[in-house]
Amino acid sequence: MRERNLSEIQTKYDVVVFGAGDVPTSSIILDILKNAKHIVACDGALEDLLKLGVEPEAVIGDGDSIAPELKEKYAHIFHQIKEQDDNDLTKATKYALNHFDLDSKPSFCILAATGKREDHTLGNLFLLLHYYRQLGINPVMISDYGWFAVASGKTKFSSFPRQQVSVFQFGCQRISSEGLKWAVYPFEEFWQGTLNEATGNSFTIDADGMYLIYRTHLPK
């Protein structure tokens, strides 16, 4: 059941950005890394990525989170960006957009960006909306438990019965759903969109703004 559900996640992305959070342990993570066109690591994540047997195309950060020996060994691909307006995840994402030959709406997968510090996790989740709106990319963020995706307007999502789903809407005056156990509406609080459930092999969200969708790997 787990592998069937996990296999529904796309495993081919234009860019994979590897963060310094908890490292996912699922086998699908290696598939994603193996199939990625480009891999960029935040400087504090390089050691974890190397432990998976994967070397990035570029290492990005302000240089304060990377071991000196790794910084020296990978100096040929280490790009130090000291400005503090963006975190390393955003620096890595912008580097990919500026230096790789990508489609007009490239797909980005962000790994190891949750866990460890809750404030970093929240910040990284909100950055998905920023990347979608301001940088023109389709980002997803995957962990061992599920994955987040950003969408707007009317979107159909793949699912399976009893898959747990949460919907976080941002400023929508109109939002509705089909295929979820409980109907979605313009929630006043973020928590009101959590703990929903798919009833079949797909569900649809229709809204006049952006929203963040979370789906679990396993059914309840």
| Backbone torsions φ then ψ of 147, nearest 5 degrees | -150, 150
**Arithmetic mean of pLDDT over the chain:** 91
Band of pLDDT at residue 4, cut at 50, 70 and 90: very low
| 124 within 8 A of 54, measured Cβ to Cβ | no
Which range among 67-71, 74-78, 91-95, 182-186 shows the weakest confidence by mean pLDDT? 67-71
Digit-coded pLDDT (tens) for 128-149: 999 999 999 989 999 999 999 9
Query: What is the number of alpha carbons within 13 Å of residue 198 lying toward its C-beta?
Result: 23
Digit-coded pLDDT (tens) for 14-35: 999 999 999 988 888 889 999 9
Give the global pTM.
Answer: 0.90
Task: Provide mean pLDDT across the span 49-71.
Answer: 91
Strand partners, 149: 140, 213
DSSP 192: G
155: exposed, middle or buried (Cβ count in 10 Å: 0-12, 13-18, 19+) = middle
Percent of the chain with pLDDT over 90: 79
Strand partners, 213: 149, 167
Task: Provide mean pLDDT across the span 202-219.
Answer: 95
Digit-coded pLDDT (tens) for 72-92: 999 999 999 878 788 999 999
Q: What's the pLDDT score for residue 2?
A: 29
Task: Provide mean pLDDT across the span 91-98.
Answer: 96
Task: Provide mean pLDDT across the span 110-129.
Answer: 94
d(CA 197, CA 220): 9
| 211 within 8 A of 205, measured Cβ to Cβ | yes
Architecture in CATH of 7-144 = 3-Layer(aba) Sandwich (3.40)
- The answer to whether residue 5 scores a pLDDT higher than 60 is no
Q: What's the pLDDT score for residue 8?
A: 58
Four-way CATH pick for 149-219: 3.30.70.360, 2.60.120.320, 3.40.630.70, 3.30.70.260? 2.60.120.320
- The answer to whether residue 3 scores a pLDDT higher than 80 is no
**Terminal-residue alpha carbon distance, the chain:** 12
Strand partners, 3: none
In three-state secondary structure terms, 39 is strand
- Domain ranges for the chain, please list them: 7-144, 149-219
